[in-house]
Amino acid sequence: MNLVDILFYIFAIVTLVSAGITVYSRNIIYSAFSLLFTFCGVAGIYVLLNADFIAVAQILIYVGGILMLLVFGVMLTHKVINVEIKTGILNIIPGSMITAIVGGTLCGIFMSTDWLIIEGVPPIKSTTNEIGTMFMTKYLLPFEIASVVLLVALIGAAYIARRDKTSKQSV
Amino acid sequence: MEQLLRNIFDNNIFVFTVTAILPLIWIVPYALVAIWLERKISAHMQDRLGPMRTGGWHGWSQTIADMLKLLQKEDIVPAAADKILFNLAPYIIFIAAYAAYAAIPFSSAYIGADINVGIFYIIAVTSLAVVGILMGGWASNNKWSLFGAMRAAAQIVSYEIPSVLAVLAVVMIAGTLSLQEINNLQTGWFWNWYVFQKFPFIFVAFIIYFIAALAEVNRVPFDIPEAESELVAGYVTEYSGMKFAMFMFAEFVNMFAVSAIAATLFFGGWNSPFGDFLGGPIWGVFWFLSKGMVLVSIQMWLRWTLPRLRVDQLMYVSWKVLTPFAFACVIAVGLWMML
C-alpha cells in the first residue's frame, strides 16, 4: 500500500464516518457540524482524482457557503439544545421500494462500470485554464443560465430582506 | 527544497512532514514577539510603558512568561457547555489559520505545496475559521459567546466578497492562481510589483484587500465580534488556559497570513526591491518576512488609532463602499488589459 492508497482510505473513512454521524445523530447541531468533515473528506478525494480546482471549489462553496447557511439556520431555530429528533417508521412499503430502486441502480452501475485503473498517477496539471476555456466556449449556455439563476436568487433575497416602508408608516 | 530533502532522506512521508512543519518554525517565535510588540506599541501610543519587568530589557520575555502561565492553568470546561464541540473549536480555528501557510511561498526555494490553485485554496481554507468560531461560540452556551460568533460569521462572510474581488484584479494581470508564479512575474525592481501596475487600480485593490483582511481577522476597527466593552470577549469568553492561547495564537497567525498574502500579491513576495541586490532564496526569506512584518505593524498601528465601527457601519462599508469599488477595479483592469 503506497501513500496515495493510505490517504484515500483516510479520506474515505472520514467521509463515511462523519456522514454517518450526520444521519444518525440525535443532536441536530452535531449533524450540522459533522458535515464539515464530510465536505473536507470529499474534497480530499477530489484532490486524489487530480481535480484540484473542483476540490477547492468544493470547500469554498460547501463549507464556506452551504454549511454556514445550515449552521445559521440551525442556530436560529427555536430550542436547539434540548430538541429530541423523533425517529419513527413511516411509509414502509413506498420507502423500501424507493430505497431498493436507488440502491439497485447504484449497485448495477457500480458493477457494470469498467473501472479505469492508472498505474503511477501522473503529476497534477492545472485544470483552471481548461475549465475557464470550456465555460466560455463549449458550455457557454449552461454557464450563462446558471449565472442568471444565481442573479435571480440574489435579487429575490434582496427583495425579501429589504425594509418595507409602507408597513412601517402604519405602525 | 523538497527535492533537496528528498535527496537527503529518501522517505516521502518524512519529507512531507518536514515540509509541512517548517512554517511553524517561523510562526511560533513570530507570535511570541508580535504579542509583546502589540502590547508595547499600544502602551507607547497611549503614553505608557507597557510590560517592563520580565526578562530585563523592556520586558522582552513577558509573552514567554504568559505562555508558561497559560500552560499550567486548569483546563476548565463550563458545566453547561457542549463538551465535544467546546474542545474541538480551538483546533478547527488553528487548522484553518495554519492551512493557509501550505500555499504561501516563503522564498523561491520553499513553498509548502506549489499548487496551481494556490490563492483560490487560501481563500477557501480561511472560510473554515468561521465554522470554528461558530462552533466555539455555540458550544460555550453563553449569550456573549453566541453573539460574538454570529457577528464574526456575518462579518467574515460579508468581507470575503470585496477581498476576493481585489485578489481577482491581480489574478487577471498575472493569469495564474499559483502564488509562486505570481511572485516570479514580479521579479526585478520594485516598480515591477503589482501594486504599481495599472496605476491606480491595483493600488486601490490593495487598499480594499487590506481593509477587508482586517475585517476577516477581526482586528480593530472591525473587532465587534470581541468588543470587550459590550461582549466581554466575544466567542472566547468561556475559554481559558491553553484553549484561550490557541485562539490568541490563531489570531496572530491569521494576521501574518493575510499580511503575507498581501505582500505576495501586491509587493513582490520574496523579491528584493532593488533588482538583484540581496537576491537569492535565503535573502528571499528575509524580504518576504520583512514585508509581512511591515504590514503586521500597520495592522497594529491601525488598531490603536481607530475607533470601533458599529454593526450597521460595518455592513455599509462592506456592501456599499468596498464591493462597488472592487468591482470597478476589476472592470477597469479588464478594460486596460484589452487595450
Write out chain B residues lying below 8 Å of A30, CB-based.
84-85
Interchain CB distance below 8 Å, A29 and B85: yes
Is the same domain home to A134 and A121? no
Q: Of the candidates A30, A36, A52, which has its C-beta nearest B116's C-beta?
A: A52
Identify whether residues A62 and A138 lie together within a single domain. Answer: no
Question: B319 lies in a domain?
Answer: yes
- Asked if residue A65 and residue A9 are part of one domain, the reply reads yes
Based on the fold, state whether residues A97 and A36 are members of the same structural domain. yes
Mark out the alpha helices in chain B (DSSP H runs).
2-9, 12-45, 62-72, 83-99, 118-126, 128-139, 143-174, 179-184, 201-216, 228-231, 241-266, 280-303, 311-316, 323-338
Number of domains in chain A: 2
CA of A152: how far to CAs of A69, A147, A155, in Å? 18, 9, 5
Nearest partner of B163 among B39, B75, B257, judged by Cα: B257
- Cβ of A59 within 8 Å of Cβ of B125? The answer is yes
Instruction: Tell me which chain A residues have a C-beta less than 8 angstroms from the C-beta of B157.
Output: 64, 68
Query: Could you tell me if residue B20 is inside a domain?
Result: no
Report d(CA B37, CA A156) in Å as an integer.
48
Residue A18's pLDDT is what? Answer: 92
- A56 vs B85, B117, B141: nearest CB: B117
Q: Residue B238 and residue B43: Cα distance in Å, rounded?
A: 27
CB-nearest to B12 from A3, A33, A56 is A3
Pair (A113, A131) in one structural domain: no
Nearest by CB to B134, from A53, A57, A71: name it: A71
pLDDT score recorded for residue A60: 87
Mutate to test the interface with B, among A2, A68, A127, A163 (most CBs of B within 10 A): A68
B116/A126 touch (CB, cutoff 8 Å), yes or no: yes
Residue B107: give the domain boundaries: 79-338
User: How many whole angstroms from its chain centre is CA B244?
Assistant: 18
What pLDDT does A171 receive?
44
pLDDT bucket at A3, cuts 50 / 70 / 90 = confident
Residue B45 inside a domain? The answer is: no
Q: Which of B80, B166, B125, B118 is nearest to B250 (CA)?
A: B125
Is B120 in Cβ contact with A68 (below 8 Å)? no
Q: What CATH code is carried by the domain that includes residue A22?
A: 1.20.120.1200
Position A95 pLDDT exceeds 60: yes
What averages of pLDDT result for each successive group of 10 residues across chain B (339 residues)? Answer: 70 79 87 88 86 81 86 84 85 89 85 83 86 85 83 85 90 86 83 82 90 84 73 79 86 90 87 78 86 90 84 86 91 88
Tell whether B59 is covered by a domain.
no
Chain A: residues touching B (Cβ < 8 Å): 3, 29-30, 33, 36, 52-53, 56-57, 59-60, 63-64, 67-68, 71-72, 75, 81, 124-128
Is there a domain that residue B1 lies in?
no
DSSP per position, A92-114: HHHHHHHHHHHHHHHHHHHHHS-
Residue in A56, A125, A126 closest to B124 by CB:
A56
Residue of A nearest to B178 (CA): A126
What's the confidence (pLDDT) of residue A1?
67
Q: What is the per-residue pLDDT for A149? A: 95
* pLDDT score of A77 more than 80: no
pLDDT at A97: 92
Of B84, B116, B131, the CB nearest to A67: B131
Q: Tell whether A158 is covered by a domain.
A: yes
Q: Which residues in chain A touch residue B121, judged by CB atoms under 8 angstroms apart?
A: 56
CB contact under 8 A, A59 and B150: no
Chain B, nearest residue to A67 by Cα: B131
pLDDT digits (tens, 9 = 90+) for A115-170: 777 666 666 677 788 888 888 898 999 999 999 999 999 899 888 887 766 655 54
What's the Cα-to-Cα distance from A34 to each of A9, A86, B136, B153, B173, rounded to whole Å? 18, 20, 14, 18, 39
**Same-domain check for residues A76 and A144:** no
Residue A13 lies in a domain: yes
In a domain, A89, yes or no: yes
Alpha carbon of A80: minimum distance to chain B alpha carbons (Å): 10
Give the pLDDT band of residue A83 (cuts 50, 70, 90): low
State how far residue A101 is from chain B, nearest Cα, in angstroms. Answer: 36
A145 is a domain residue: yes
The answer to whether B116 contacts A29, with C-beta atoms less than 8 Å apart, is no
Q: Quick check: A71 and B125 CB within 8 A?
A: no
- Same domain, residue pair A98 and A47: yes
Q: Are residues A145 and A110 in the same domain?
A: no
Regarding whether A147 and A76 lie in a shared domain, the answer is: no
Of the candidates B121, B130, B134, the beta carbon closest to that of A56 is on: B121
Instruction: Say if the Cβ atoms of A52 and B177 lie within 8 Å.
Output: no
For residue A125, the chain B residues in CB contact (below 8 A) are: 116
- The per-residue pLDDT for A15 is 93
Range of the domain at A8: 3-125
Assembly ipTM: 0.79
Q: Is residue B57 part of a domain?
A: no
Same domain, A117 and A151: no
Who contacts B265 (Cβ-Cβ below 8 Å, separation ≥6)? B119, B167, B170, B179, B182, B194, B206, B209
**Dist CA B259 CA A133 (whole Å):** 32
pLDDT single digits (tens) A102-119: 999 999 998 888 877 766
The answer to whether position B38 is within a domain reads no
Q: Which three cell numbers mark B270?
A: 520574496
A32 assigned to some structural domain: yes
Q: What confidence tier does A85 reach under pLDDT thresholds 50, 70, 90?
A: low
Contact A56 B120 (CB under 8 A): yes
CB contact under 8 A, A36 and B128: yes
Q: Which grid cell is B198?
A: 495599472
Contact B218/B225 with Cβ under 8 angstroms?
Answer: yes
Residue A65 lies in a domain: yes
Shared domain for A98 and A53, answered yes or no, is yes
Mutate to test the interface with B, among A14, A46, A60 (most CBs of B within 10 A): A60
* Closest chain A CA to residue B83: A30
Residue among B308, B315, B263 at smallest CA distance from B290:
B263
Shortest CA gap B87–chain A (Å)? 13
Express each pLDDT in A8-60 by its tens digit.
899 999 999 999 988 888 777 888 888 889 998 999 898 888 888 888 888 88
| A170 assigned to some structural domain | no
Say whether both A131 and A115 belong to one domain. Answer: no
Say how many domains are in chain B: 1
Residue B126 lies in a domain: yes
